[in-house]
Amino acid sequence: MPDGVAPAAARPAAARRRERRTDIDRAKGLAILLVVAGHLVANTAPPGGEWYEPARYLLYRFHMPFFLYLSGTVVVLSGVLDAEPPDWVRQIRKRAARLLPPFFAIGVLILLAKLVAMRFVVVDNQPDGLLTGLRHLLWDTGRSPATSIWYLLVLFLCTVAALVLRRAIGSGGLLLLGLLLQLPEVPEIAYLDRFARFFLFFAAGVWVAERQDRLLPLMRRWQVLWWALFAASLGIAMTVWWGVVILNERWSLVVCGLLCIPALHGLIRLRPVNGWDWPIALGRYAMVIYLFNTLAIGAAKAGLILLGIGYTAANFPLHLAVAMAAGVFVPILLKRLVLRRVPALDRMTD
């Protein structure tokens, strides 16, 4: 059996849900690397670095869908969605205490950091001031100075929606709801537009987790098929750059985001990947990396500019490499050297 897991029939259902899943840890490690890669350039590449834009476009077709899929899986495996209705308020409070304090704290920290940094260097998504920045951060989120934190609020909303609706409509109904939410134009208020776009992938994680004994082996066994379909979906999405729109941005996200799930999760469960330890380490630091990677990337970019290494086409590969290293390793160092010494901050970033 992969990852040292005993046969499913030999274990009670509750134990199967709550056991530590190293394939999920590895997948989280891969997913957080993709998230950091997606944050390397907030707006546009420098003139002459246009080659990066199609690559970023393709990355954004699947990296957050995969992250939300894993989040839906973890919510099921943790037993949160098994709560009885009288326990829903307690569960919602627990999720709020887990997700909303870092959402607000890191959002305000990014806003304040940008207000200071913009006095010395050019920053992406510049805030118009403290009060306006706070309003954009929390309400008019289409203009948020800290768009990278949206996942935390959306994950909270997804969990509450699944907790309340799953008993009535099942995981299949959650999937259908996720598809229906793709249809309306949802305003960019309090990240509700992102909830509408990404709930589908959270629901996919719930649906797969309920059927993991049947579906996970199929993900491994049919890897060639899944990767062929995933690659084809990316190719179709790429036609936008050639002036041919086969799937618009919204539906290319749906198709690529769903097809990445069996391709990537199946790959994680295959040799030699299922024996790698480094993705597990990254996966266990996923929260702190998510919270602090954009700050670290911004600081690295500002540092290079202050050292005279301008944000130009010639220096662009160096900026990307330094930003990637900073986005991954600075948060880990911060966790190990500082945050673990403060219990409240340690819990918030676990």
H, E, C per residue of the chain? CHHHCCCHHHCCHHHHHHCCCHHHHHHHHHHHHHHHHHCCCCCCCCCCCCCHHHHHHHHCCCHHHHHHHHHHHHHHHCCHHHCCHHHHHHHHHHHHHHHHHHHHHHHHHHHHHHHHHCCCCCCCCCCCCHHHHHHHHHCCHHHCCCHHHHHHHHHHHHHHHHHHHHHHHHHHHHHHHHHHCCCCCCCCCCCHHHHHHHHHHHHHHHHHHHCHHHHHHHHHHCHHHHHHHHHHHHHHHHHHHHCCCCCCHHHHHHHHHHHHHHHHHHHHCCCCHHHCCHHHHHHHCHHHHHHHHHHHHHHHHHHHHHCCCCCCCCCHHHHHHHHHHHHHHHHHHHHHHCHHHCHHHHHHCC
pLDDT of residue 242: 84
Token pair listed for 8:
């499913």
User: What value does the mean pLDDT take over residues 306-319?
Assistant: 94
Write the CA distances from 303 to 123, 139, 310, 322, integer angstroms.
Answer: 12, 31, 10, 10
Report the percent of the chain where pLDDT is more than 90. Answer: 76
pLDDT of residue 35: 95
Of the listed ranges 41-55, 92-106, 179-193, the least confidently predicted one is 41-55
Would you mind telling me the total number of residues written for the chain in this entry? 350
Of the listed ranges 7-21, 108-122, 186-200, 318-332, the least confidently predicted one is 7-21
pLDDT of residue 331: 97
User: What value does the mean pLDDT take over residues 225-254?
Assistant: 93
pLDDT of residue 16: 47
Q: Write the CB contacts of 17 (distance below 8 Å, at least 6 apart in sequence).
A: 76, 77, 78, 79, 82, 209
Does the pLDDT at position 322 exceed 80?
Answer: yes
State the average pLDDT for the chain: 91
Report the percent of the chain where pLDDT is more than 70. Answer: 94
pLDDT of residue 146: 87
pLDDT of residue 199: 98
Helix pair 249-268, 63-77: axis angle to 10 deg: 60
Write the CA distances from 20 to 15, 241, 310, 313, integer angstroms.
Answer: 10, 42, 45, 45
pLDDT of residue 338: 96
Does the pLDDT at position 120 exceed 70?
Answer: yes
**For residue 293, what pLDDT band results from cuts at 50, 70 and 90?**
very high
pLDDT of residue 18: 52
pLDDT of residue 10: 40
